[in-house]
Structure 1
Amino acid sequence: MLSNCAACGKVFMKFSKPVCPDCASKELDTAKRIRDYLKQKEKRNAPLIQVSQDLDIPVRYIEYLIRQKYFDLARYPNLQYQCKNCDTLISSGEYCAACAETLRNHLLSVQKDKTKSDKQNDESHENFYRSRL
């Protein structure tokens, strides 16, 4: 399927990633640069901000690479990024546990309200048709 690269906008044949082969290669090179940096014993526990500053790579791009599973976070515990909702540091997913639970509860309540509303609508339609008979 033809698609535009999410990074550079170039048209390419999309198989799995939303980026073209050139940008995918750049992703791999950047991830290798970060891994090489973190292999140094004194830099192994460097926080994400320091890695970003030392290598001149935007924090958001490093977060993207972490989410794409380029790094084993068990080996690099300080490569944490911010929750999309509350800015708490996390090492996997998009949201921290508290925000994920809040979102889950909100979705469940919306689902219950919809089910309740649908049930009331069905009952009102039944009464309408019964009165017509």
Structure 2
Amino acid sequence: MAELRNCPSCGEFFNYIGVRDICHKCAQQEEDMYQIVYRFLRKRENRAATVERIVEATGVKEEMLYTWVRKGRLHPAVFPNLGYPCDNCGRLTNQGKLCENCTSELKSDLRTFEAAKEFREEIKNREKGTYLSERN
């Protein structure tokens, strides 16, 4: 069932049916901007363009570019200088929410935490040890 919502872009009311979070008019404008960016990037000399260069040449907002890359509409494999900001440090990444550096740092911290946890459990078990007396 449709739900009446305000479009976050223009403020107009629209029927939200679970497909997109903006009204039809704004969705059409977004699609038009996507086509402009895509045509720009399809030219051989622009395939390695940075986000800043694309914004400068097309007038599209950075956030919109990041959204298209995150959703898979623009592929970093084809356009190597595209990406979106890491949720932790802000460095551009192509997959997931964290860049490679933050991911490896997080994994290292988790390994350290797990090793410390195992060490604490081992110490605790040693202190609880059972004492046996010899019986003949």
Contact 2:86–2:99 (CA<8 Å) still a contact in 1?
A: yes
Contact 1:48–1:79 (CA<8 Å) still a contact in 2?
A: yes
- Indicate the residue corresponding to 1:25 in structure 2: 28
- Indicate the residue corresponding to 2:11 in structure 1: 9
Q: In the superposition, relative to structure 1, how do residues 5 and 94 fare at CA in structure 2: closer, same or farther (>3 Å)?
A: farther
* Normalised TM-score (structure 1): 0.68
- Indicate the residue corresponding to 1:131 in structure 2: none
Percent identity for Structure 1 against Structure 2: 27
Amino acid in the other structure paired with 2:92: L
TM-superposed deviation, 1:7? 1.5
Amino acid in the other structure paired with 2:12: K
Q: How does 1:1-133 map to 2 (within 5 A)?
A: 1-15=3-17, 16-99=19-102, 102=106
* Normalised TM-score (structure 2): 0.66
Q: Rg bigger for which structure?
A: 2
2:67, 2:102 → 1: CA distance? 19
- Indicate the residue corresponding to 1:114 in structure 2: none
RMSD: 2.5
Deviations 1:18-53 (A, max 9, x none): 011111111111111110000111111111111111
What is the aligned length?
107
Contact 1:47–1:80 (CA<8 Å) still a contact in 2?
A: no
Counting helix residues as a fraction of each chain, which structure ranks higher?
1
| Runs of 5+ unmatched residues, structure 1 | 110-133
